[in-house]
Amino acid sequence: MNKGWLSRLLGSLAVLVPLLFYGHGGSAAFVAATKESADPEVSHLMAKSLKSRQTDVRQAALAWLARDPRAQNKRLIRAVFRTLKDKDPGVRNQALANLGWIYERDFADKTGRRALAAVKKALANPSEHAAALVAVDLLRGSAEKGEYDENQGGAPKEHLLSNPGIQTLVVPLLASRESSLRPELLQVVENSPLLQSLPPVIEAVGEALGDDDLTVRSDAADLLIAIDRKGKPEALAKAHPLLLRALAEGDPNVQIRVSRALNLPVPPRKAAPPVLSLTGEKVSTADVPFDFNYFTAFVQPLFAKKYGGEACVDCHTPQANTTGKFRVMAPKADGHYTVEESRVNFVSVLAVVDRANLEKSKVLLKPLDPRASEGKLQGETHDGGVFWRNQFDPDFRLVDDWLKGAKLDVPPQKQLDFAYFMKHVEPIFSTPGPDGFACINCHSTHAILHLESPETREGSFSIEQMANNYQSAHRVIDESAPGSSFIVRKPTSPREGANGLAHAGGIRWPDKKDSWQYRTLIDWMGKRNLDGQ
């Protein structure tokens, strides 16, 4: 058997076993080769492959080992541990995927403890997102094996989820609002009666009810409902109060789920505490018909934007000695507002909004050119001068759309800089790749990264399209590990999948991490719209 044949064979995992065994002696050869005591050829082949200089050979061999119990020879364990330090991250992650069977095989000795320590290390470092996901997959496998036996009252010691150290790591990863592993860990708990019986885990699931992602909130609610229905008394005692609290304070989607499950009505929502505007009025944001998320992302930044050298905050702050009702707070020196400051601006701008006739609102007409020759609207005299030449100006459209009810799903704490997005990120989506196609050509039909194409042949986007693309981009971003975000990993992945990730469009940026697209997106993910404090 020459090295060239071995490389080609192991390079395609999907056909590895049929080619190796069924193609060389039929099913009888396959059965014989997978019995370690009967045929040492399999172990020899695997050991040789794990020493190969070729990355794809090592990676494919490890993937085979992780999937096929009949190939999991104890004599290969040392080689697996060695590849945990491989220079290639894909090989390291495939080695990590083998630690489940190694732990279960030798959980009571030094080998098992070493495997357990490596799994714990991966879980404890969620910033290494790919490795952490592999560790979570090991936990999912442990749960799916039925690790908890109610008749015995416990879990076999050899299963990962029965280890107190693993359980201790799962809790903060579920409870943390910043955790990018919440969706996967909720699935692990869903498949694990053992975890569902642990009060700290149930409380952590309750924390996920406040996640910014609607899917996570819904999954957490459904999981608590299942525990409330089927759990033991001590688990039910923890889950039920969490559901009642979600019914009273959760978002409408969660409230509906809980209401139906518990057969209880949704209580009236508590009135939001009033915010004192800069004109001295106390305003409850719950009574404001305009969207706060849209305001912080698109409207508020316009207050600090320079138009011909002038900005709203140059004149319309409480410190400025000017007349008129319009008062807003100026941003900090770095251009950022806090959420609290944004709420003050949100209610303060209402002073120049005409709710009875939105088109007559001074927030629209004062910056607009009084001599506008295009469109039906003309502005009013403004001491600060003309900011918008006509009602088709993109900034006018942003404010106008907000007043007309435009909404944004991305909460203020998650929002990235929109101006930078428009100037630098949007061109990435619309620039053709090596194959002549751009992201927008395929992603116009995608549900998650749904991208809309320009509305004109010249390539200009409407404000609605820009807002949609901005919102969609946030769905494929990992805040805790920007380099692990799908928005940069997918365009650098081949069609067949590298390290477990495939991209139907293939590699879009031949220079990968050295490309201007990659660097631009990483820079954007570091540009918060609001101050975190």
What DSSP string runs through 452-466? Answer: PPPSSTT-PPPHHHH
Return the H-helix or E-strand segment holding 276. Answer: strand 275-276
| pLDDT value of residue 67 | 86
Strands 282-283 and 275-276: antiparallel
Are 318 and 327 spatial neighbours (Cβ–Cβ below 8 Å)?
yes
Cβ atoms within 10 Å of 198's Cβ, excluding its own: 20
- Lookup: tokens for 340: 């609290």
- Token pair 């971003």 is found at 477
| pLDDT value of residue 157 | 66
Are 225 and 257 spatial neighbours (Cβ–Cβ below 8 Å)?
yes
In angstroms, rounded to a whole number, what is the distance separating the alpha carbons of residues 108 and 76?
18
Handedness of CA 253, 258, 263, 265 (dihedral sign): negative
In angstroms, rounded to a whole number, what is the distance separating the alpha carbons of residues 26 and 109?
38
Measure CA 179 to chain center: 9
In angstroms, rounded to a whole number, what is the distance separating the alpha carbons of residues 247 and 244?
5
Q: Which of 193, 99, 198 lies closest to 149, judged by CA?
A: 193
| pLDDT value of residue 362 | 96
Are 173 and 205 spatial neighbours (Cβ–Cβ below 8 Å)?
no
In angstroms, rounded to a whole number, what is the distance separating the alpha carbons of residues 342 and 348?
10
Are 76 and 46 spatial neighbours (Cβ–Cβ below 8 Å)?
yes
Number of residues that make up the chain: 533
Are 98 and 86 spatial neighbours (Cβ–Cβ below 8 Å)?
no
Q: Which of 367, 241, 253, 262 lies closest to 315, judged by CA?
A: 367
| pLDDT value of residue 324 | 80
Ramachandran angles phi, psi of 250, nearest 5°: -75, 175
- Lookup: tokens for 63: 């993937």
DSSP 492: G
283 bridge partner residues: 275
Return the exposure string of 168-193: e unless at least 16 CB atoms fall within 10 Å of the residue's CB, then b: ebbbebbbbeebbbbbbbbbbbbbbb
Residues of the chain with pLDDT under 70: 1-40, 146-158, 269-272, 455-459, 497-500, 532-533
| pLDDT value of residue 253 | 80
Cβ atoms within 10 Å of 282's Cβ, excluding its own: 10
| pLDDT value of residue 533 | 52
Using alpha carbons only, give the angle 483, 137, 167 rounded to the nearest 5 degrees.
100
